[in-house]
Structure 1
Amino acid sequence: MTEAKQIICIKWGTKFGPEYVNRLNGMISRSITPPFRLICFTDDGAGLHGDIVVRPLPRFDYEPPRNTIGKWPKSRLWGDLGDVTGTVLFLDLDVIVTGNLDDFFTFGDPDDTVLATNPARIKPFEKLGQTSVYRMRVGKLAPLQDIFRADPQAVADEYRFEQRFVTRRAPGGVKFWPRGWVVHFRADCVPAFPMRYWQTPKVPEGAKIVIFAGSLNPPDAIAGRWSEDDTPRAPREHLRAAFDGTRRESLSRHLRHYVRPTPWVEKLWRD
């Protein structure tokens, strides 16, 4: 029999409800050659569809770093995952699958740690990985857990983001998905300013997964707002708010932080 493709995700706390996992499972099922299975590591499996494999959050005793940007709880997945072994593809809960996923399992060597390329240019000439979509062999990143556990705050202070820590310290180094496979909604789909006021976001040709880093998530893209705290506005209303005293940020940021409602996100983001 053909070996099942394994996709894993992690859900902790209350930021993302079960609908995120269920919709991720639906998008995967429509975009992959079976067999496959989605395994969700979570502290609350209520509401998840029955065809999703539910496993408890892997135990990893450490003192969480404070006032740090990175999503360090993802470090729970770097070590032993119980009955989940072999090669796994990790997906964030808030991604949108826009193309076929089969190539993510055949690219490179099965033992490679493969990351998406981060569009951020935080340091000059730095090639930073993005852990919203990455592949690993289970247990290969366990040495990173040992380094992190020894002094979580020091690691967080040095690397800021867990993805920079993985990029720089993964055993054997990392590889990156081919350019264009994984794209960033704000950086690659939203039209440049000021065209975003009259053009809706588009999926770049060849993109297989769209990631949503930051405060703009799929429900925001559907509604046409920059974050869940914003009120969707028509272009003229948003421009008027820039000068009538109701904006909550600098003028330049307010003007840039606009996105029109995005129908294709609503079409794809479903069970």
Structure 2
Amino acid sequence: MIAGGERTLNVVCVKWGDKYPAYYVNRLYSGVTRYLDRPFSFHCFTDNGDDIDPRVRLHDLPVEPFESELQAAMQRKGRKGAWRKISLFRPGLGGMEGQILGFDLDVVITGRLEPLVDAAPDKVAMRHEWRYEWKGQPGGHGSVFVFDPALHRYLYNDFAADPVGSVERNKGSEQYYTSMSAFRRGQLHYLPGSMVCSFKYDAARIPPLNLMMEPRLPLDCRVMCFHGSPKMEEAVEGFEAGLLRSTRPASWLKRHWRV
């Protein structure tokens, strides 16, 4: 809490396994520090806190009452998604109260974050998933999300009541479960697509310009998502993947993805 009773914003990420090294957490923390001008606490739920910045509040990965059902559901063919994030929907997790600004680790903060935090404080805020947006279908993208667990208890309770069914009914995708659960209740807000960008859709140049010009940083972009390929290291150095998907080095990325 801060003066006047206003709650400190909770910024949260989840790191498990060895796919993303500790410096992904540290650079995310650094980016939030540069681009968020209000009190916040930064939390990381992880199974390995080695080398993570001491200013980050570390928590063990939650173990849920439905852990075995969740693991069984995720072993089936065709299942995908960061289902560990379901624990973030539990009110009071890690002693957190109030609004949560959550990030996947494969994002880079490139601009002021206040417009995302303040966009719809009483709703679940996510960017419209690009594929669904193009098709005119509902559904959110989960690389950045804003919500208050106390206002949206159904996100945790509905899943806890039927983990296997929740995975089955939502394409095996946590972000689809999250966004459609809120959508059906009229509580989904789409963050502006100009502010939450995709490197492969919004930054990479179309062929053959991708071989001659560096990727662009859209003017209003606040969060650049590196879903799929390339990831940040590849984009910084230049990504070689044939005529259609190769990119030149992104010099602007070095300014933003750093400690």
Normalised-by-shorter TM-score class = 0.7 to 0.9
Out of 77-86 and 13-22, give the one that drifted further.
Answer: 77-86
What is the aligned partner in structure 2 of residue 174 from structure 1?
A: 188
Task: Tell me the secondary structure at the aligned position of residue 82 of structure 1.
Answer: helix
- 1:235 matched residue in structure 2: none
Q: State whether structure 2 residue 81 is matched by structure 1 residue 70.
A: yes
Q: Which runs of 5+ in 1 are unaligned?
A: 226-231, 233-237, 239-253
CA distance in 2 between partners of 1:186 and 1:264 (Å): 15
Aligned-partner Cα distance in 2 for 1:223–1:149: 43
| Amino-acid identity (%) | 28
Instruction: Count the aligned residue pairs.
Output: 244
More off after superposition, 98-107 vs 62-71: 62-71
Q: How do 1:234-253 and structure 2 match up within 5 A? A: none
Q: Which has the higher helix share?
A: 2
The partner residue of 2:25 within 17, 21, 24 is 21
> Is 1:47 aligned with 2:51?
yes
- The answer to whether the aligner puts 1:37 opposite 2:51 as a matched pair is no
Per the alignment, do residues 156 and 256 of structure 1 end up closer, same or farther by CA in structure 2, a change over 3 Å counting?
farther
Structure 1 residue corresponding to 2:102, chosen from 90, 106, 117 = 90
Aligned counterparts of 1:46 and 1:147: Cα–Cα separation in 2: 34
Q: What CA deviation, in whole Å up to 9, does each residue of 1:117-157 have, x standing for no partner?
A: 21124983213201111101024444333433454444333
C-alpha distance in 1 between matches for 2:133 and 2:145? 20
What residue ranges of structure 2 are gaps of 5+ in the alignment? Answer: none
The residue number in structure 2 matching 1:159 is 170
Match of 1:268 in 2: 256
Q: The residue matched to 1:167 in structure 2 has which SS?
A: helix
Determine the C-alpha separation between the residues in 2 that align with 1:32 and 1:224. 29
Return the match for 1:216 from 226, 230, 254.
230
CA distance in 2, matches of 1:179, 1:222: 23
Q: Which of residues 96, 116, 138 is equivalent to 2:149?
A: 138
Using the alignment, how far apart are the partners of 2:134 and 2:114 within structure 1? 33
Q: For the residues of structure 1 that align with 2:159 and 2:7, how far apart are their CA atoms?
A: 33
Aligned equivalents of 2:38 and 2:170: distance in 1? Answer: 38
Q: Distance in 2 between matches of 1:102 and 1:122?
A: 24
Q: Measure how far apart 1:173 and its partner are.
A: 2.5
| Corresponding letter in the other structure for 2:207 | F
Q: Is the 8 A contact 2:138 2:180 kept in 1?
A: no
Mapped contact 1:79–1:141 kept (Cα < 8 A): no
Hey, what does 2:137 align to over in structure 1?
126
Q: Are residues 123 and 32 of structure 1, via their aligned partners in 2, closer, same or farther at CA, if it must alter by over 3 Å?
A: closer
Contact persistence 1:12–1:44 (CA under 8 A):
yes
Per-residue CA deviation, residues 28-48 of structure 1 (Å, 9 max, x unaligned), is 111111322211111111111
Aligned alpha-carbon RMSD (Å): 2.1
SS in 1 for 2:127: strand
Q: CA offset at residue 114 of structure 1?
A: 0.6
Cα distance in structure 1, aligned partners of 2:60 and 2:153: 18
List structure 1 segments (4+ residues) > 6 angstroms apart after TM superposition. none
Q: Corresponding residue for 1:148?
A: 159
- Tell me, yes or no, if the aligned pair for 2:10 and 2:43 is still in contact at 8 Å: yes
1:175 counterpart letter in structure 2? H
How far apart are residue 205 of structure 1 and its match? 1.2
Scaled by the length of structure 2, the TM-score of the pair is 0.86
The whole-number CA distance in structure 1 between the counterparts of 2:151 and 2:211 is: 45
Which one has a bigger Cα radius of gyration? 1
* 1:6 equivalent in structure 2: 10
Seen in structure 2, the aligned counterparts of structure 1 residues 172 and 44 have a Cα distance that, compared at 3 Å, is farther
Query: Normalization by structure 1: what TM-score?
Result: 0.82
Q: Say if 2:204 and 2:210, in contact at 8 Å, map to a contact too.
A: yes
